[in-house]
Amino acid sequence: MTVTGRHYATGERVRLEFAHGRIASISPATAKGTGVEPASNSEPWIAPGFVDLQINGFGGHEFNEPQITPQRVREIVLAQDQFGVTSFCPTTTTQSLDRLTHAMTAIGDACERWPEIASRVPGIHLEGPFICAEDGPRGAHPREHCRPPDWDAFRRLNDASGGRIRIVTIAADYDQTPEFTRRAVDAGIRIAIGHTGASSDQIVRTVDAGASFSTHLGNAAHPRIRRHPNYIWDQLADDRLGATLIVDGHHLPASVVKCFLRVKSIARCALISDITGMAGMPPGNYSGTPLGNIEVLDDGRLVVAGQRELLAGASLPIGHGVANVMKFAGLDLRDAVQMASLNAQRLAGFPVQPLEAGTLADLVLLHHDCEPGATSPLRIVATYKRGERTWDASRTIRHSAAD
């Protein structure tokens, strides 16, 4: 198979050839052997597929809802093709150990049954229950299930998943956090600090133990914190920590995004969507969701019902973050895309798949709003998973074993 378009990093018109699920070659696109054709604005950009480290659900369903099944996991996973996401971490939020064990079993079973699911799920993200129980840091996570880190409880969950947990978001607040972090890192699991109200010393001890990045930095925090020191400054200042950012226009103001990137550097930050099962639902109140009682506001924000400040996940796919970070921080397409792909792979410890010969043919073809006549911030034209076209916007069909 051959794909032609504009290289996301250089702007040059290139032709990619696939073989056995990988990029066999990348070469300048030529016209009838007469030389390189100039790139046209009508052609899509070709970029590495998006890698989202935090997707909680989609289409009205969460990964840790009581009724989750392998089939429903499959539906959520394959639905991400339309957003240019070629791999992601199914993310479970705080619940009882029984509920989380059920979720891990369903995700693991889906990966065992269907190769197309296993290829899209490089690992699971456990976001809770080992988080701060205070209002603010816990976000929309149910207080009654927030608990200190417990290695035996973690092993139960990881065993249920078939050993697929690759990221654990943990609060630095607890005395048990450093030891848990050391054991996890020794087992090849990435520890991220998040949903925390920790002191400066607790942050340092957790990073010393091996924590490597911050989960959605700047969110899941007290509405009001002391000027300094505080746990946001502490995480920003520690050069050993990378960061994931939700740049949907709701979670972080543009000025904060710009400052975070200047401090952390683009190379150490990754975009995430934090999208939930409530994404796309009409405005209104919804009770009994896995995150409790949720309200969808008129502007699309998801909040804990009864107020307008505490967010309850996100409603926009990661492509909106790519477009927004270009606008908010003045990034070019190359850096914005890499924050949603290669940087995420590095933070999570997954194999990095740049757009070059020999790597997996996991690609997205897209247009973005810097182009004349564009009607949306970023439009996905097609998605390719291991060289197979799994989403085609022109025909709004999926081409894969999912059909």
What is the pTM for the complete model shown?
A: 0.93
Q: Which residues pair with 168 in a beta bridge?
A: 126, 191
* DSSP classification of residue 351: P
- Indicate the domain borders of the chain: 2-47+357-392, 48-348
In whole angstroms, give the CA distance from residue 61 to residue 152. 28
Kindly report the CATH number that applies to the domain delimited by 48-348: 3.20.20.140
In whole angstroms, give the CA distance from residue 36 to residue 31. 7
In whole angstroms, give the CA distance from residue 156 to residue 384. 35
- pLDDT score recorded for residue 38: 57
Number of helices and strands in the chain (H, E): 11, 20
- pLDDT score recorded for residue 402: 39
- pLDDT score recorded for residue 252: 96
Spatial contact of 83 and 318, defined as CB atoms under 8 Å apart? yes
Among the listed residues 259, 273, 391, 394, the one whose alpha carbon sits nearest the alpha carbon of residue 323: 273
Would you write out the chain's pLDDT as a tens digit for each of its 403 residues?
Answer: 899 999 999 999 999 999 999 999 999 997 555 555 556 678 999 999 999 999 999 988 999 999 999 999 999 999 999 999 999 999 999 999 999 999 999 999 999 999 999 999 999 999 999 999 999 999 989 999 999 999 999 999 999 999 999 999 999 999 999 999 999 999 999 999 999 999 999 999 999 999 999 999 999 999 999 999 999 999 999 999 999 999 999 999 999 999 999 999 999 999 999 999 887 678 889 887 766 788 888 877 888 888 887 777 788 999 999 999 999 999 999 999 999 999 999 999 999 999 999 999 999 999 986 554 454 579 999 999 999 999 999 875 454 433 3
Q: What CATH architecture applies to the domain 2-47+357-392?
A: Roll (2.30)
- pLDDT score recorded for residue 62: 93
Q: Which residues pair with 285 in a beta bridge?
A: 295
